[in-house]
């Protein structure tokens, strides 16, 4: 476990104290801080002016009541959140998660990660995240609609295409975005397409947004593999989850010649040695909203494991794409023992710190979520561009832009890791490159004047494309 820099230790202790009980948020902050020692050693002024303390404190946090009426006529109450973390680089941008595990600590960890992820894309978007402890599982379409409408009835006043632009995440797909956008439009009397991303193609959405996080994950991992003269061709790949990210990860891996042998949901996982049947998974998950166990019932030769650990299945590439902390130190040891060569975090923080450290120490290629899964938000930014210009681009040209963006993120992480003495360490590279872009913007926008804050123009400026 990395020891924190002596200037960062007290800041981290303050984060623990001010955000008691928010374990996932602590974990996300610590992971970034572990990388920042090298930056502070080279550019001590980043530790001045309360800059790092400011990054750790959201600009605004909104918590609200979401009352709605279920199909039996009973009033249900959920809690809604929107954490507007940083607008140094652009409007707050980040998804909404509907899952019973949601509480402030989860939203803050996701919002904090989002700041650096969005910075890494090189696009003009700040970081935020939101959601609710509402559980959509088993709810009727009418209940989902009434919940989304109630959620937006409060949230709308905080949104705007230049202020805060949410998208989807766990439990929030195109259907939910549609109900929320409809309610926003009803309340404001404005067809403000740029206020939400992940919209349907016929009402302001972008080609490739649905596929973007999964495709982007595979593009990033492909870039990592290329550094070792390898590709997906013929490799056994293990994917967890069977939602939006997992499905389009599987699709792109298959296109590149890899064989995905697993996927899962919160009830269990399936092992299909013949390779996952994508059409069947899409039918079960996207059309019927069924369970992964249905896949094993409907296809011969498939094993279903309601208990047990997906990471015990030997594979060369592991792409955790379900949820945070789904792959721990024990799982990492098992994967390493079984010869894993690359891990790409399709989900946000799916690997515990322990697991991430073990992969890196074993010399595996390890791509952290804030870099690997940035394709989703990057394509959301492309959706915002299309909305602003009332234009729509073709699938091929949008996918091409996505591939270029992912290569740019990969190369930036790699170059930064190299510059800071950690060649091949994508965690260090992603954290430092993301941090520097945000920190430079925060300095430029000012808080209080201090001569120290104006020194040391940073060599990293060269890494960012000129606009």
Residues of the shown chain interacting with ligand NDP in the complex, contacts defined by CB under 6 A: 168-171, 213, 241-246, 265-267, 321-323, 346-348, 373, 376
Strand order in the sheet with 268-271: 303-305, 268-271, 259-265, 236-239, 317-319, 342-344, 365-367
Nearest to ligand NDP of 34, 169 (CB atom): 169
Angle at 211 between CA 205 and CA 216, to 5 degrees: 120
Residue 18 CB, shortest distance to ligand NDP, in Å, is: 24
Tokens representing residue 210 in the block: 């649905």
Residue 320 CB, shortest distance to ligand NDP, in Å, is: 9
Task: Spell 173-200 as b/e; 16+ CB within 10 A means b.
Answer: bbbbbbbbbebbbeeeeeebbbbbbbbe
Q: Which residues are catalytic?
A: 129
Residue 243 CB, shortest distance to ligand NDP, in Å, is: 2
Close Cβ partners of 55 (under 8 Å, ≥ 6 residues apart): 86, 115, 435, 438, 439, 442
Nearest to ligand NDP of 166, 171 (CB atom): 171
Nearest to ligand NDP of 37, 168 (CB atom): 168
- What sign results for the dihedral spanned by CA atoms 423, 425, 426, 432? negative
Residue 51 CB, shortest distance to ligand NDP, in Å, is: 26
Residue nearest to ligand NDP (CB): 243
Pairing of strands 259-265, 268-271: antiparallel
Residue 447 CB, shortest distance to ligand NDP, in Å, is: 30
Close Cβ partners of 303 (under 8 Å, ≥ 6 residues apart): 270, 271, 272, 296
Pairing of strands 127-132, 75-86: antiparallel
Cα dist from 422 to 418, 434, 461, whole Å: 5, 16, 19
Nearest to ligand NDP of 45, 386 (CB atom): 386
Tokens representing residue 184 in the block: 């926003």
Nearest to ligand NDP of 24, 419 (CB atom): 24
């Amino acid at each position: 476990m990395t020891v924190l820099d002596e200037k960062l230790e007290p800041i981290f202790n303050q984060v623990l104290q001010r955000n008691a009980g928010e374990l996932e948020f602590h974990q996300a902050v610590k992971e970034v801080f572990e990388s920042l020692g090298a930056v502070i050693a080279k550019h001590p002024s980043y530790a001045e002016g309360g800059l790092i303390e400011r990054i750790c404190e959201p600009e605004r946090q909104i918590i609200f009541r979401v009352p709605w009426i279920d199909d039996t006529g009973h009033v249900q109450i959920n809690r809604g959140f929107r954490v507007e973390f940083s607008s140094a680089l652009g409007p707050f941008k980040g998804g909404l998660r509907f899952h019973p595990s949601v509480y402030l600590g989860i939203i803050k960890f996701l919002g904090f990660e989002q700041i650096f992820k969005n910075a890494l894309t090189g696009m003009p978007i700040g970081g935020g995240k939101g959601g609710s402890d509402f559980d959509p599982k088993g709810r009727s379409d009418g209940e989902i609609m009434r919940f989304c409408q109630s959620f937006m009835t409060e949230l709308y006043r905080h949104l705007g295409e230049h202020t805060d632009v949410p998208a989807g995440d766990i439990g929030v797909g195109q259907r939910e975005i549609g109900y929320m956008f409809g309610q926003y439009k009803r309340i404001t009397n404005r067809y403000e397409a740029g206020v939400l991303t992940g919209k349907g193609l016929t009402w302001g959405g972008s080609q490739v947004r649905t596929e973007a996080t999964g495709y982007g994950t595979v593009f990033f991992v492909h870039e990592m593999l290329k550094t070792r003269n390898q590709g997906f061709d013929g490799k056994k790949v293990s994917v967890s989850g069977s939602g939006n990210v997992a499905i389009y990860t599987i699709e792109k891996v298959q296109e590149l010649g890899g064989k995905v042998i697993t996927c899962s949901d919160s009830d269990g996982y399936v092992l299909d040695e013949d390779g996952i049947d994508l059409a069947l998974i899409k039918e079960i998950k996207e059309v019927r909203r069924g369970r992964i166990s249905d896949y094993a019932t409907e296809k011969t030769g498939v094993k279903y494991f309601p208990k047990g650990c997906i990471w015990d299945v030997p594979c060369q590439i592991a792409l955790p794409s379900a949820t945070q902390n789904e792959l721990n130190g024990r799982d990492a040891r098992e994967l390493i023992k079984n010869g894993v060569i690359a891990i790409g975090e399709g989900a946000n923080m799916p690997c515990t710190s322990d697991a991430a450290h073990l992969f890196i120490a074993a010399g595996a290629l390890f791509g952290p979520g804030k870099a690997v899964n940035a394709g989703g938000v990057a394509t959301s930014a492309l959706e915002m561009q299309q909305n602003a210009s009332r234009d729509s681009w073709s699938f091929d040209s949008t996918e091409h832009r996505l591939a270029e963006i992912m290569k740019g993120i990969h190369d930036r992480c790699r170059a930064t890791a190299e510059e800071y003495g950690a060649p091949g360490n994508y965690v260090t590279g992603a954290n430092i490159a993301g941090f520097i872009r945000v920190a430079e913007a925060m300095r430029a926008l000012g808080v209080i004047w201090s001569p120290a804050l104006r020194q040391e123009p940073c060599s990293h400026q060269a890494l960012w494309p000129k606009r």
